[in-house]
Structure formats: C-alpha cells, structure tokens
Structure 1
Amino acid sequence: MKVLEVLEKSITVFCIVSFGGSVLPALLTGGGSTDPDAPGAVFWFMAVYVLILALIASRPRLAFRIPTGSPALSLVVVLAFVSALWSIYPDVTLRRSIAFLFTTAFGIYLALRYSFPEIMRLLVTGLSILMLLSFAAVFAMPDVGLDHEQHVGAWKGVFWQKNVTGRMMVWLVLCLLWLDWQREGKRWLLRPLLALALLLIVMSRSGTGLVTSFLVAGLLFSSSLVRGSIRSFAPTFAFLLLLAVVGLTSGTTFWHDILYGLGRDPTLTGRTVLWEHTLMSIQDRFVLGWGYAAYWYGAYGPGSAFTQGWGINSAHNGWIEAWLDLGLAGVALVIFLLGRMLFQGFAAIRYSTNKAEPAWIFTVGCALLLISISESVFLERHSLNWIVLVVGVTRLVQRRRWARLQARMQAQAARPAFASSSPYGTSYGAPPAAAWTGSRRPS
C-alpha cells in the first residue's frame, strides 16, 4: 500500500513538473529549446494524459466527483469544446481543448485527492525540481539557461521565457511561505529553498514576479488581521483601504517612473501595441470570440503579424486572451472563478475556524489578478497558472459543501426522533453521527 501511494505521488509530481512551463518536454524529446510545439513534446504530453487517466482511474470514487468538483470549471471546459463550432481553426480548437480538459482535470484531482498540506508539499517538490534544474542550466547550459534575445543575460533557467520563470517562482514562494507559516515542513529545508527562489526571481529580471512575491508574502501573513470583532477589524480595513488608495494614486501619477524602476518602458515592452491590435479583434467577435486557442495559430490568422514578426503567441493580458478565446461568456466565467477566490476566500479567512487554507487561496487570487495585467494566465493548457486557480476554486467549493453537510447533520441531530405507526415498525429520526463520517468528508 505504501509503495502504491509513493508511486501515485511520484506521478503527481511528474505531472506538476510537466505543466511547469519548462523546455524539458521539448528538450528531452529532441525538439530543442526553441519550439514548444515540437512533435516530441506532443508525445510527451500524450503520455502525461495517460498518467492522469491512470491516477483518476485508481480512485473510482474520486473519478465520479471530478465533473462536479466545480460546476463553473466544468462549464469552462465545455465552452472550450463548443467553441470549435465557430472557431477559425476547428481542428486546432478541438485538439487544444483536449489539452485544456486534462490540465483542468488534473487540478481538480489534486484538490480532491490530497489534504491541503499535501498539495502544498507536492507543488513545492515539483517546482523545486524545476528551480534546481534552472540553476544547473544557467551554469552548465547557458545556451538554454540564459536569455540571448530581448533580455540578454537574464536567467530563465529551464523555462521558455524569463517571465515564466518569475511566475513559477511566485507559486513556489507562496507554497513555501505557507508551509513555513503553518510549520508543515522542516524549516532548515524550506528557508534555503525560499532564498533560492527569490534569488532566481531577481536574476530573471522579472519585475512582475518580484512585486508579486512581496505582495503574496504581505497578504498571507496579514490575513490574521481581518479576524475578530467588527471594532477590531474596522481600523485594519480602513488602513488596507488607505494603502490601496495611495498605491493606486501613486501608480497613476508616477507610472513612468515605476515602469522604469522595474526595467520596463512605457509601452510595457511593446504590449500596448499588441493590446491595441487585439482589442480591435475583440470588437470583430465580441460575443463568441475566435475559438479556444485559435487566434494565434497559423501563418495567415488574425494574430499572424505578431506570431511571425515578433514571435508572440499570446495577448500578454489574461482578460484579453480569455475574450479572444471564448468571448464574453469566457470572460464572465473567469470573473466568476476569480471572484469566488477573492470574495469567498476573504469571507472564509474572516469567519471560518481554519483560516490558513483560504488565506492561501485568497492570496493566489490576488496574485493572479496582478499578473493578469501583463501576462495571459487564464484558460491556459499545460500550465500551473491555471492549475493553482483550479485547486483554489475546487477547495472552496468542497469547503462550502462540507459546511452545508455539517449544517444538515446538526439540524437532523437536533430534531427529535419519533416512532412511526407503520406496520413495518420503521423508525424515523436523525441518523447516528457515525453515518456521516468517513468517505463523505472531502479530503
């Protein structure tokens, strides 16, 4: 039994590493470090899909819960497949929707299968492997580990681009901080890993990653301030609101200086030109979008001027990308999912007995909101950005369902039992508490 559990966790970590946005699938299959769609990488992820199916099939009870783990997530996946009906490249949309399905299913599996500390440890293990390989690539394979194009000398490690390095290290930092905060790991191991992750963010010159790292640290450790009576919470809320107003005012007034301080030009490295083009494309297909993952495909598609000339294959904005893929309905679903992480997560921090898990989920929501301004982090296939969102949303749904189940149990336990006059002698009343324990409680 222990051997099977170790094997299951090892496969889970392998999937996390595969979805980490690294060049490893292409590099290890002979495709080099410049083509993410190399044939070898395609076969790599097909093998990953088989492993995910094996993980799910090994837990039959869990397999039936995955489609209902979060109805909104299931609806997003269905919408991706349906968008093939109006996609400019239906075959591409169908193929990439399958990848999106397995990415989402893996996130739901992760949320339902393991306890929250176990999820954190698995994410830390997978991301730490990528981080250590990145340091090795910088010194042993500089052709792979260093940026030689736009940001010459920036460390990107085994990731496709330096900003991907920054984003993955943000999730590693957040998971390490949570484990250290809750004393769920050995500090002599967690803190050196944390220092290495921050060092890699600095050396990657990812301004967004650095700012987001400080944000997640501050939000995670300040979560205890929102608890207590309204009298104690009101000054804290007023202070946080003041900080938000000052930050927003400073950002709009000194945005040129802030951008230059982060190593960015006023066009955000050409993003404003890209956004102008994609916003015009949104107007052409405002309601339905261009089909899931179809906009940037092909040499003659609507985004070909950027894919061919600039080597860009995303809008570098989460909201614009979602609108290009799935139209107004896709954006609405993303708003609902992210809103659940922010508002339900915040409410759970304030009112639930266990604030640690919702604190992480709320912090992830804030990080995604910040990163989505300059990067496409929603509705991504083969991406840990989407997986951490899926894990957060699914865990919140399960917490609410468990709270409702407990409320029903308490109501039935309080209701007086009475004997029926049925000739069969059936007794109606509250079932024993033991009947509700065990497999009914989400892991």
Structure 2
Amino acid sequence: MTDFSVRLDRWRSAPRIGFLRPLEYGLALLILLLMSQALLGPLLASEADPEGATLLRVMWLPVYAITAIWFVTRPMAGLSTALRIPLILILSALCMVSMMWSLDPSMTLRRGFALVMTTAFGIALASRWSWRDLVGMIAITFAILGVGSAMASLAAPGFAVHQDIHVGAWKGLWWEKNTLGAMMAFGAAASLAAAAQFDRHRLLWWGIAAFEAGMVLMSTSKTALLALCLALAGAIGIALVRRGFGFATLMIFLAVVGGGMLALVLTLAPMAALEALGRDATLTGRTDIWAVLIGQIAAAPWTGYGYGAYWAAEYGPVFWVRQQTQWPVPTAHNGWLETALALGIPGVVLMALSYTATLFRALARLFRGRETYWALTFIALVGLISLTESNLLQRNGLTWALFVATSAKLAMPRRSGGR
C-alpha cells in the first residue's frame, strides 16, 4: 500500500467535524432561497431586466464557489452522480456552445456558464443528501417563501399585491402573481412529500400544505390552481395505489380515462374548456405571442439564437415580435418555445428526452419509496407549468436546480444513495 493510500484511509476514518454538516445544510437552504429569485429581484431590478442590478449578478459568485468546493471535497460522488444524467449534461453544455451562433456571444457565454453551475448545484444536492434530507430541505425552502410572501402581502400590499393589473391578486415576494402561484403549488407538493417522509411531524406538514394551498388561491393564478389540484391528486393517488392491487388498477384506470377525456375536450372544444377554467381563448395573450415565436423558430430551427440572447438583443428578431404583439414581451411564457429559441430543435429534443427519462424513473418507483411523493408529483408539475411559463433551463433558477437534483437522484440506485 502506498503512502498516499495510507493517508487517504486515515483521512476517511478520521472523525467528522460535527458542525460542518449543519453548516452545509444551511448553505444549501440559503442557495435555494436565492435561486427562487424572491424579494431581491423585485427590490433591485425590473421583470424585463431581472439581472439589471450589479448585486444580482455578483452574488452568484460565492454560490458557484461553494458548489465547486462541494465537488472538490467529494469528487467521485459528484462525478458518478453527474454521469447518470448524460442528457442533462449535454443540454447544459449546449447552452454554452451556443455562443458560437448566438446573437450576443459574450452574454450567452456568461449565462451559459451560470446554467452549467446551476446544473452542478443540482447534482451536488443529489450526491450529498439522502432523499429524506433533500425533501425536508425543499419543503422548508418553500415554507419560508410562503410565510415571507404572506407577511409581505399583508404588511406591504403596495409591494406584494397587484395594484394596476390583476388588482388585488397577491404576488408575494415576486414580480407577478403567476410566480407566487407556481411556487406555492410546488410548496404544497413538497410539504405533502415531507409529511410522508417525517411521520412524527405529519400534521405540521399537512398544515403547511394547506397554508400554501391558500396562497395559491390568493394569487388567483389559474395555472397554479391546476398545478395545486395535480399536487393533491398526485399525493392521494400514490397513497391509494399503495394500498393494494385493486386500488392501483382503479387509480391507473381513472388516470388513463381522465387524461383521455381531457385530451378529447381540449381537442374538440378548446375554447369552451378555457372559458370553464376562467381563461380567455388566447391564455391572456400567450397564444398571440406563441404564433409569432413559432415563425421565429422556423427561421433558425437547428441552432436557435443562442442561450439567453434572444430577448436581450433589443433590435434583433425580438424587435418584430414586440411590434406585432404591441407590448414589450419579456419571455415566451412557454418553457419549450423558450428552449427552441435558445437552442433550436436539438435543444427541445434533448429537453424532451431528459424530461421523459426522469418521468419514467419516477413512475418506476410508484409502488416503493417515500421519495415518490415528491419526485413524481414535482416532475408532473414542471411539465404542466412549462406550458404557460418559461420554467425550463433557467440559469440560477430554483425549478431547474430541483429538476436536476430530482432527476439525478432518481437515476441513482436506491442502495447506493438514491434512498
């Protein structure tokens, strides 16, 4: 045995410093709160330019440093976890490579690097914490965001409640109501998953889930309301399926029939379905944006316009989108169209394959493992919300970090850390 091997064995067998683990947990929790874009974004920047303030760009440097340190201290664990999600790695790398054809190469390089580090942070979460710890951390994050949003809406309505459009709708610590609604729908799913993980605190987490459901209602976001219903149905469905074969058969049958009927209604009478949900046929102008953007995507189908560059190039192709829609459109309001604008069809295909692989891995754990309450419901919510919000491939974004962490964790064998 070499001298290096002896020293390595001694280092591994040495007693751990007791305060490091709680410190790491606290740092991870703080980073998740920062990635939610809550409070600091609305205070320091505008929705049209969320990175306008220097502080909002500089504050990520310590986050990247912490992520790098985590990888250096446990390199094999991080590497083995990363290699289990090759499609996500390729997709993240493509965001940086797209600088070669970007409308703004320097911006794409900077934002692509931020996306890569966000992906790395998600991988670090998966490699360093068990499902139990991870679900608890996520649930605490959303609970803090929910309480903070409620306090802001009650104490400072001029800041946290819409005053011009959607008057009276709560937006909490974000720029607009739909973000609050989506975050609280995720939060309800996380709290229900935490209730399944922590038996002794089940009633507490159920109470927090009810509170977050109330926050969704206060946001008046219809998409978030659908997401909340999906989160509740997911938790109940998983619980019933695990009661026995009969329940499993019934739930699967109802899911197939319900999904088929919904698809039929949306195909034959989409306007009636939207009106029943309280939405206009244009999804508050979104379909008008999408129609124009599809033409833009068709002009650069194999490359897109570079990650993070399309909306920033004020006098590029986006100029004509804003001319045709007659308002300063900030995003595509659709995660898949946003991906196509950045990376073209190859990016959409990679994203679709990554999402599908993660979904099937979650479904494979339908009958075992408490983590399914979070993983399966969260993946379903990401898919639903991506239809009306640009929530995929978000640099320094909470949804993308959690998607990567969940995907990587599901790809790990349960006996070797995916527990």
Tell me if 1:395 matches 2:409. yes
Which residue matches 1:14?
A: 30
Which aligned pairs between 1:181-220 and structure 2 lie closer than 5 A?
181-184=196-199, 186-220=201-235
Q: Secondary structure at the match of 1:377?
A: coil
Aligned match for 2:388, one of 360, 363, 374: 374
Give deviations 1:239-272, integer Å, cap 9, x for gaps.
3221222222333455434433444221111111
Tell me if 1:109 matches 2:124. yes
Which aligned pairs between 1:161-176 and structure 2 lie closer than 5 A?
161-176=176-191
Q: Secondary structure at the match of 2:252?
A: helix
Which residue matches 2:359?
A: 342
Aligned match for 1:321, one of 325, 331, 338: 338
Q: 1:371 to 1:441 in 2, by over 3 A?
A: closer
Distance 1:76 1:326 in 2: 9
Q: 1:215 to 1:63 in 2, by over 3 A?
A: closer
Question: What is the identity, as a one-letter code, of the residue corresponding to 2:40?
Answer: L
Q: Secondary structure at the match of 2:179?
A: helix
CA contact (8 A) 2:336 2:348 kept: yes
Distance 1:323 1:298 in 2: 16
Which residue matches 1:158?
A: 173
Q: Measure how far apart 1:371 and its partner are.
A: 1.3
Aligned match for 2:399, one of 385, 394, 406: 385
Tell me if 1:310 matches 2:310. no
Q: 1:126 to 1:58 in 2, by over 3 A?
A: farther
Distance 1:115 1:312 in 2: 41
Q: Secondary structure at the match of 1:349?
A: coil
Q: 1:222 to 1:67 in 2, by over 3 A?
A: closer
RMSD of aligned alpha carbons: 2.5
Give deviations 1:404-427, integer Å, cap 9, x for gaps.
xxxxxxxxxxxxxxxxxxxxxxxx
Q: Measure how far apart 1:47 and its partner are.
A: 2.9
Which residue matches 1:118?
A: 133
Q: Measure how far apart 1:150 and its partner are.
A: 2.7
Question: What is the identity, as a one-letter code, of the residue corresponding to 2:349?
Answer: A
Q: Measure how far apart 1:442 and its partner are.
A: 5.3
Question: What is the identity, as a one-letter code, of the residue corresponding to 2:201?
Answer: K
Q: Compare CA radii of gyration and give the structure with the larger one.
A: 1
Tell me if 1:365 matches 2:373. no
Question: What is the identity, as a one-letter code, of the residue corresponding to 2:212?
Answer: A
Question: What is the identity, as a one-letter code, of the residue corresponding to 1:338?
Answer: Y
Question: What is the identity, as a one-letter code, of the residue corresponding to 1:100?
Answer: L
Aligned match for 2:60, one of 45, 64, 72: 45
Question: What is the identity, as a one-letter code, of the residue corresponding to 1:10?
Answer: G
Q: Measure how far apart 1:281 and its partner are.
A: 0.6
Q: Measure how far apart 1:139 and its partner are.
A: 2.0
Could you state the TM-score of these two structures normalised by the residue count of structure 2? 0.87
Question: What is the identity, as a one-letter code, of the residue corresponding to 1:347?
Answer: A
CA contact (8 A) 1:179 1:185 kept: no
Aligned match for 1:94, one of 96, 103, 109: 109
Distance 2:243 2:154 in 1: 50
Distance 1:372 1:212 in 2: 11
Question: What is the identity, as a one-letter code, of the residue corresponding to 1:4?
Answer: L
Tell me if 1:332 matches 2:349. yes
CA contact (8 A) 2:42 2:173 kept: no
Question: What is the identity, as a one-letter code, of the residue corresponding to 1:321?
Answer: E
Tell me if 1:5 matches 2:21. yes
Q: Measure how far apart 1:25 and its partner are.
A: 4.9
Question: What is the identity, as a one-letter code, of the residue corresponding to 1:7?
Answer: L
Q: Measure how far apart 1:283 and its partner are.
A: 0.4
Could you tell which deviates more after superposition, 199-208 or 182-191? 182-191
CA contact (8 A) 1:69 1:108 kept: no
Tell me if 1:355 matches 2:358. no
Which residue matches 1:130?
A: 145
CA contact (8 A) 2:392 2:399 kept: yes
CA contact (8 A) 1:133 1:157 kept: yes
Which residue matches 1:419?
A: none
Q: 1:14 to 1:119 in 2, by over 3 A?
A: same
When the two structures are aligned, how many residues end up with a matched partner?
Answer: 400
| Runs (5+) with no aligned partner, structure 1 | 404-439
Q: Measure how far apart 1:131 and its partner are.
A: 1.3
Question: What is the identity, as a one-letter code, of the residue corresponding to 2:313?
Answer: G
Q: Measure how far apart 1:441 and its partner are.
A: 4.8
Give deviations 1:114-166, integer Å, cap 9, x for gaps.
11111111111222221111112112222220123432221011012211111
Could you state the TM-score of these two structures normalised by the residue count of structure 1? 0.83
Which residue matches 2:286?
A: 271
| Runs (5+) with no aligned partner, structure 2 | 1-16
Q: Measure how far apart 1:35 and its partner are.
A: 4.8
Question: What is the identity, as a one-letter code, of the residue corresponding to 2:222?
Answer: G
Give deviations 1:8-53, integer Å, cap 9, x for gaps.
11110110001113232563xx557885212121122223223333
Give deviations 1:202-261, integer Å, cap 9, x for gaps.
011111111111112212321255569988755543332212222223334554344334
Question: What is the identity, as a one-letter code, of the residue corresponding to 2:366?
Answer: I
Could you tell which deviates more after superposition, 43-52 or 89-98? 43-52
Q: 1:299 to 1:256 in 2, by over 3 A?
A: same
Q: Secondary structure at the match of 1:356?
A: coil
Which aligned pairs between 1:244-263 and structure 2 lie closer than 5 A?
244-263=259-278
Q: 1:224 to 1:186 in 2, by over 3 A?
A: closer
Question: What is the identity, as a one-letter code, of the residue corresponding to 2:38?
Answer: S
Which residue matches 1:299?
A: 314
Question: What is the identity, as a one-letter code, of the residue corresponding to 2:353?
Answer: F
CA contact (8 A) 1:349 1:356 kept: no
Structure 1 runs of 4+ with >6 Å offset: 227-232
Could you tell which deviates more after superposition, 249-258 or 121-130? 249-258
CA contact (8 A) 2:130 2:417 kept: no
